Structure 1
Amino acid sequence: MNEEILINATPSETRVALVEGGMLQEVWLERLGRNGLIGRIFKGRVSRVLPGLQAAFVDIGLERTAFLHAMDMTRPDPGESEGEAGTPLIADLLRAGDEVIVQVIKDPMGSKGARLTANISIPSRFLVLLPDAWNIGVSMRIEDESERARLKELVTLLRDDDSRHGYIVRTNAEGVNDFALSADMAYLRKVWQAVRERTAGVAAPGVIYEELSLPLRALRDMMHGNVDRVRIDDAEVLDQSRAFARSFIPDWLDRIEAYTGERPIFDLFGIEDEIDTALGREVPLKSGGYLVFDQTEAMTTIDINTGGFVGSRTQEETIYKTNLEATQAIARQLRLRNLGGIIIIDFIDMSDEEHRRQVMRSLKRALERDHAKTSVSELTALGLVEMTRKRTTESLERRLCETCPMCAGRGTIKSVETVCLEIFREIMRSGRQFEASKLMVLASPGVVEQILDEQSGAVAELEELIGKTIRFQTEDQYQQEQFDVVLL
């Protein structure tokens, strides 16, 4: 499927969109002063060692200390089976006050600090350098066994035997020659040498190495044979991207173009509208059905509904077609919304066993295009599918939105009638507890209007009951749930 990369850059924000077949698939953004930390290398100072958790908290200069687990302190021996030697005790590896070189592998999320590893890795276009390691791995996305063997043999031959550096061959390396791999190795060695030299001069906590900017990372990681072109709407970013391409991907330099259209670049393919849809709960399906996404701290749930779809001859066929269409939409929305962690999909119940198999096959096939690692369980008797998707950064919603001040994150607010009744209870409480001849109620315009209109009889009864006059005043700045009862 043909792909296109659109890069929108302003002084305060940079956004990158991946479009496949005219449809937005993924979007990334960086804002001034709020760039992601993944890939950065720090010299940190250990704040606390927690033997019970087999972990340590490390100060790397951020607002919250970062988390480092013992299993991320040492690289496994390539000849050793997983779990053979066990994880060393964190107390044997670190003490409070120690300096440690670490890399961020997961951004801070919510109340949690960044996740760290001491196993440094530096990516380039075709390879990932593993300093002080000796193993060579090949991306699992390269499925052809002969190609995997060819790449591993090439890297083994090209590697400098005098240096203990391991490598992971990335998916982009499929089909490339020894010259491209050799150039990548030379670049990575230079970067690692610069990191080592800078380490000596940086005081803890401090930054040793920063990843490329978002547009350059997009070129490095996303440029492949299916990408027809990259369009950029900023002259400075365009120059930087072309300079990067000349050094690392010269064959594809002509695919990087300036966007000079009158419309904003993200108006192409309706990208702004797609982003707005991705921030909502409901996603319509072409058939008339729809998906409902609910993101919580613990997990994300996805509910599938037939909605207005009644096109098939039987109910079972209608349900099957809705579920089948939903698998494609779900896979796309997971990428677009950048949802991670535990995900529960509630498919509409299907009685036909073959339909159940086809839906699961379709879901797994749709998820194959996802760059993030996913794991999918089988469909349960209740029609539920449990899956996980590796989460390294905040979801699109968490990046672009904040907690609603009116509902405090509940997603709903109390009705006008409920607030009116709460006011009446507070009037009763205040009228009996305090000595005053009058009470003044301050509330939002909608609440005051309802009280004076539909609840006027109840107000009259309250005045007679407490023996005090009650007055009402609208406050335009008050939210619907907000009110005050003042003694006069």
Structure 2
Amino acid sequence: MKIMLINSVEKEETRIAILDNDKLCHLNIENNINKKNKHNIYKGKIVKFEKSLDAFFINYGVKKNGFLPIKEIYNFDLYYNIYNYINYKDKNNFFQLNLDILVQVIKEETKNKGAFLTTYISLPGIYSVLMPNSINKEGISKKITGDCRNRIKNFISFIKVPNNMGFIIRTEGLKVSIESLQKEIDIKIKLWNKIKKNYKSIKSPGLVYKENDIVIKTFKDCLHKDTDEIIIDNPKILKKIYRYFFYISNISFLKNIKIYNKNIPLFSFYKIESKINNLFKRKIMLRSGGYITIDSTEALTAIDINSFRSKKYNSIEDTAFNTNMEAIEEIFYQIKIRNLGGLIVIDLIDMEFLNNKKILKNRLKKLIKMDKAKIEIGDISKFGLLEMSRQRLSSVLQIYNYYLCNKCNGDGLLVDKESFLLSIFRLVEEEIYKDNVYEVNIIVPEKTNICFKNNKINYINNIKKIEKNKKIIIFFSKKIKYPNFFIFGLCKNKKKKNILKKIIKKYNTNNTMIIY
């Protein structure tokens, strides 16, 4: 039994979970602070061209400028005008023109990078995707294969779209008639006409079209005919849901919608709060006694498999094979539900038999067919590493719920106090022995006050014997968390003095200091 649960009682956050026979198979979270803008369409301004990247930076109304590669510009006249202006005329005058451009977000911005933009607009529906800027392009989802693909090819020519537009049939389009497909495409054509009008009427930078909220987005991507129930704990969003199903002329799902009105919270009743909490854990235990660990960076995820207490098998090879097989199932589940993308490296337990490696890889290929994302798998190396790349369909789930630790800055380790103090004074020595430096300022956590006074006075005195005319000033701040610190060597440079003053104000040192 497949159930979709929509939890929107709290104003701050909306959560949608899909259970398939009591197993959590999809989770989507959106809160007021980190609202997603993927598929939103904006009227932007070209503000910069980076020749080394062959890309433009677009101001589209948010803090970070978006990234638009040249290959993502569909309008060839605009492309050549821009190219000629940049190569043969004054670049500064070009950017003063403030050229407007219609762009769509295809990858959301991260902490370090702006959003990835395109001018090839796509308007996704449940059964199809309309592409207004793709001339006469008719496509079929790569997930549709064999006889089904041939069947769609036979009737795709009966779908009518304007000459300057294209479309793609999604996997759900297999289950509906040509009339239903044509209805959805006609709705998207009307939407495109509205978008063009909005583009002309608003000032840039600004939002032209906002993609539907998390509920409607999830309906488009995850609501299939095998969904038995849609359970909602907030009656206020019912109108929006009804309006959507009437808009797409599909009222068959309305009978499956139910309002949840029990005293126990919706997710607690279905016992999935603990399952959600486990999604953010680094270490996941397996039933056999083994475990996997997941460590993610910006573009790479490393997954390690460990047999640990897995002792029920007869040989080392059996233990390795069976633990790896169990781990692969769990890894695929975790990758999919956490929305992990980029390069993924799995460190398997070493297996000697080639046949076992083939069985494991074939199992992984079968699992991949159930994923909407594009995935490529490499061979298992002689070191037992399996590399794969996965398309990032949306932002990693963890980004919206966690922030970087202000103590370790994401390293996961803290230095002991003795080493912390030694590293500071070695850096102080390096600064103070510079010829142009007359004063060294140190800003450290307030908790280290006693340690500085008791343990390191001799260390400072030894430095002062050599550099008698130079000052060492230690500031103690409540706002700096251990083991973070700042060291500034002051010289005649006024900029450094101003930076130091700003830092002292920011971290509110309360005039707590020691001067040597």
Q: TM-score, normalised by structure 1?
A: 0.84
Deviates more, 1:131-140 or 1:321-330: 131-140
Paired with 1:220 and 1:184, the residues of 2 have a C-alpha distance of 12
Which residue number corresponds to residue 136 of structure 1?
Answer: 138
- Confirm whether residue 284 of structure 1 aligns to residue 312 of structure 2: no
SS in 2 for 1:27: strand
Which residue number corresponds to residue 106 of structure 2?
Answer: 105
Aligned-pair distance for 1:292? 0.7
Gaps (5+ residues) in structure 1? Answer: 77-86, 430-440, 467-473
Q: Measured at CA, do residues 88 and 314 of structure 1 come closer, stay the same or move farther in structure 2, by a change above 3 Å?
A: farther
Aligned-pair distance for 1:148? 2.3
Which residue number corresponds to residue 17 of structure 1?
Answer: 17
Q: TM-score, normalised by structure 2?
A: 0.79
Which residue number corresponds to residue 32 of structure 2?
Answer: 32
Equivalent position amino acid for 1:109 in 2: T
Which residue number corresponds to residue 313 of structure 1?
Answer: 314
Deviates more, 1:321-330 or 1:237-246: 237-246
Equivalent position amino acid for 1:272 in 2: E
Aligned-pair distance for 1:333? 0.5
Paired with 2:188 and 2:85, the residues of 1 have a C-alpha distance of 28
Q: Measured at CA, do residues 227 and 43 of structure 1 come closer, stay the same or move farther in structure 2, by a change above 3 Å?
A: same
Mapped contact 2:34–2:400 kept (Cα < 8 A): no
Mapped contact 1:131–1:165 kept (Cα < 8 A): yes
Q: Measured at CA, do residues 354 and 485 of structure 1 come closer, stay the same or move farther in structure 2, by a change above 3 Å?
A: farther
Identity rate of aligned residues, in percent?
27
Question: Cα RMSD over matched residues?
Answer: 3.6
Paired with 1:307 and 1:379, the residues of 2 have a C-alpha distance of 22
Paired with 1:268 and 1:173, the residues of 2 have a C-alpha distance of 34
Equivalent position amino acid for 2:328 in 1: T
Mapped contact 1:327–1:366 kept (Cα < 8 A): no
Mapped contact 1:5–1:229 kept (Cα < 8 A): yes
Aligned-pair distance for 1:313? 0.6
Which residue number corresponds to residue 63 of structure 1?
Answer: 63
SS in 2 for 1:192: helix
Paired with 2:300 and 2:257, the residues of 1 have a C-alpha distance of 39
Q: Measured at CA, do residues 334 and 352 of structure 1 come closer, stay the same or move farther in structure 2, by a change above 3 Å?
A: same
Aligned-pair distance for 1:329? 0.6
Paired with 2:69 and 2:212, the residues of 1 have a C-alpha distance of 26
Which residue number corresponds to residue 83 of structure 2?
Answer: 91
Where does 1:351-370 land on structure 2 (aligned, <5 Å)? 351-370=352-371
Q: Measured at CA, do residues 240 and 314 of structure 1 come closer, stay the same or move farther in structure 2, by a change above 3 Å?
A: same
Aligned-pair distance for 1:426? 10
Which residue number corresponds to residue 514 of structure 2?
Answer: 486
Deviates more, 1:169-178 or 1:264-273: 264-273
Mapped contact 2:29–2:397 kept (Cα < 8 A): no
Which residue number corresponds to residue 232 of structure 1?
Answer: 232
Mapped contact 1:56–1:69 kept (Cα < 8 A): yes
Which residue number corresponds to residue 340 of structure 2?
Answer: 339
Aligned-pair distance for 1:107? 0.4
Aligned-pair distance for 1:271? 2.7
Which residue number corresponds to residue 84 of structure 1?
Answer: none
Paired with 1:212 and 1:320, the residues of 2 have a C-alpha distance of 45
Where does 1:181-196 land on structure 2 (aligned, <5 Å)? 181-196=181-196
Per-residue CA shift, 1:302-360, capped at 9, x if unaligned? 00110111110111001100100111111111122111111111111110111101111
Paired with 1:283 and 1:385, the residues of 2 have a C-alpha distance of 19
Paired with 2:461 and 2:201, the residues of 1 have a C-alpha distance of 79
